[in-house]
C-alpha cells in the first residue's frame, strides 16, 4: 500500500515487489547451506534481505520514471535500458559492501555466537546474490513489458 501511494501506481509497486521472490530464491539456498533449519536468525535475515531487495527495486523503477518524466528520454525502451545501466553500479556496489561485511559472520564456523549470526548472514548473502543478479534483468524487463501500455 505504501509503495502504491508513493508511486501513485499499483503496477509500479507490483514490479518493485517482484524483487521479493528473487531474493527468496537465494535466501532459501542460504538456509539450506547453513544447515537447512529455518531459525529466528534466518527469519531476521529474510526481513533484512527483503528490505534491501525492495530498495533496489525502488531505485530502479524511480530512476526509469525520472528518465521518462523529468529527463525526457524520447523512447520508452531507451529509458528502461538507460535506467538499468545507470543503476547497475550503485546496486551492485551496495550489495557488495553488505556482502563483504557479512562474509566474516557467515564463515565464523563453530565460534560462540555463530549459531545466531551465521544463519542470518548466509540468508542475506545468498539472497543478495540472487536478488541483485536477477534484479538487473527481471525488473527492467517486467517494467518494459507491463508499463509500456500506459
pLDDT band at 150 (very low <50, low <70, confident <90, very high): low
Q: Are 34 and 114 in contact (CB under 8 A)?
A: no
What is the arithmetic mean of pLDDT over 4-32? 84
- Does the pLDDT at position 47 exceed 90? yes
Sign of the C-alpha dihedral computed for residues 132, 138, 139 and 140 taken in this order: positive
Furthest C-alpha separation in the chain: 57
* CA 113 – CA 95 distance, rounded (Å): 24
Give all domains of the chain, ordered by start, each with its CATH number.
2-147 (1.20.1640.10)
Please, what is the average pLDDT of the chain?
A: 84
pLDDT at residue number 21: 87
Enter the pTM of the model. 0.83
Output 100 or 12, whichever has higher pLDDT: 100
Amino acid at each position: 500500500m505504501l509503495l502504491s501511494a508513493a508511486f501513485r501506481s499499483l503496477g509500479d509497486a507490483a514490479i518493485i515487489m517482484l524483487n521479493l521472490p528473487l531474493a527468496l530464491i537465494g535466501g532459501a539456498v542460504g538456509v539450506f547451506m547453513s544447515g537447512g533449519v529455518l531459525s529466528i536468525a534466518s527469519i531476521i535475515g529474510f526481513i533484512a534481505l527483503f528490505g534491501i531487495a525492495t530498495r533496489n527495486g525502488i531505485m530502479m523503477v524511480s530512476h526509469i520514471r525520472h528518465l521518462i518524466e523529468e529527463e525526457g528520454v524520447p523512447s520508452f525502451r531507451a529509458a528502461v535500458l538507460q535506467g538499468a545501466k545507470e543503476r547497475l553500479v550503485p546496486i551492485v556496489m551496495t550489495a557488495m559492501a553488505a556482502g563483504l561485511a557479512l562474509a566474516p559472520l557467515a564463515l565464523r564456523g563453530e565460534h560462540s555466537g555463530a549459531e545466531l549470526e551465521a544463519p542470518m548472514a548466509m540468508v542475506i548473502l545468498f539472497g543478495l546474490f540472487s536478488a541483485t543478479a536477477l534484479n538487473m534483468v527481471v525488473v527492467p524487463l517486467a517494467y518494459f513489458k507491463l508499463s509500456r501500455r500506459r
